[in-house]
Amino acid sequence: MGELLRCDNLCKTFGSTRALDRLSLSIESGKIIGLLGPNGAGKTTLIKIVNGLLQPSLGEVLIDGKHPGVDTKPLVSYLPDVNYLNNWMTVEQIVNMFADFYDDFRPDLAFDMISRLGVDRKQRLKSLSKGNKEKVCLILVMSRNAKLYVLDEPIAGVDPATRDYIISTIINNYNPEASVLISTHLISDIESILDEVIFIKEGRVVLHDTVDHIREEHQMSVDDLFREVFKW
């Protein structure tokens, strides 16, 4: 199990706002990791830096030894927190577009999961419900054969059945060579599928541990611990 993602002393400021404050962390391959923190803790900023969409003000990010950029795009499969796909495109067109973009994309797998979802591949994205749109986006991201999957709030705003669908999609596509980083603040829903959790608060890592160790040490669920750490 090698080191897959490393952040050293990462800082990011927006004007006078400090979104990340000397944040350091290390993630191994083969793990499902929760990136947990309240709103405004810096989760999305960190994820955007890892994906090369933002430049850190200070510090360094290495993904499999490489700086975020052209070389890391094939390694990282990213689900943003907002829908970025063209609404006028059909599901089929989007799958084909992903196949054009990414060498590691498996269109058969994507079509298979989409048909099991009961979505017609000729349907336009704009005709899908919010939940189905989110599921299609997740299917696209999980159909790549990447080393690191970064999912920004994949379960926010979906019903419990959809949430279970998303969780089983993540488990089903789990690959021991790859890691999945999931950001969320809905911890109780997903804590059992996580190997490790990282709590961030005001741009810093306040805790990085395995779920089982947390439960053993504190005799409480990660969700309960989260409420205690972030009590105010």
Q: Which stretch binds another protein (CB under 8 A): 35-43, 71-79, 145-153, 218-226?
A: 218-226
Residue 57 CB partners (closer than 8 Å, separation 6+): 11, 12, 13
Closer by beta carbon to another protein, 53 or else 171: 171
| 30 near another protein, judged by CB under 8 A | yes
DSSP labels for 92-149? HHHHHHHHHH-TTB-HHHHHHHHHHTT--TTSBGGGS-HHHHHHHHHHHHHTB--SEE
Closer by beta carbon to another protein, 83 or else 168: 168
- Tokens representing 44 are 């999305």
| 192 near another protein, judged by CB under 8 A | yes
| 71 near another protein, judged by CB under 8 A | no
Q: Which stretch binds another protein (CB under 8 A): 39-47, 99-107, 145-153, 161-169?
A: 161-169
| 216 near another protein, judged by CB under 8 A | yes
From 32, 91, 113, 178, residue interacting with another protein (rule: CB under 8 A)? 32
Tell me which long-range contacts 62-69 makes (C-beta under 8 A, separation of at least 24): 62/5, 62/6, 62/8, 63/4, 63/5, 63/147, 63/148, 64/4, 64/147, 64/148
At position 216, the amino acid (one-letter code) is: E
| 188 near another protein, judged by CB under 8 A | yes
| 8 near another protein, judged by CB under 8 A | no
Given the DSSP bridges, would you call strands 58-63 and 179-184 parallel, antiparallel or unpaired? unpaired
Closer by beta carbon to another protein, 60 or else 159: 159
Residue 71 CB partners (closer than 8 Å, separation 6+): none
Closer by beta carbon to another protein, 32 or else 125: 32
| 220 near another protein, judged by CB under 8 A | yes
| 164 near another protein, judged by CB under 8 A | yes
| 112 near another protein, judged by CB under 8 A | no
CA distance 41 to 11: 13
Binding site for another protein (CB under 8 A): 30-32, 164, 167-168, 171-172, 174, 176, 188, 191-195, 211-213, 215-216, 219-221, 223-224
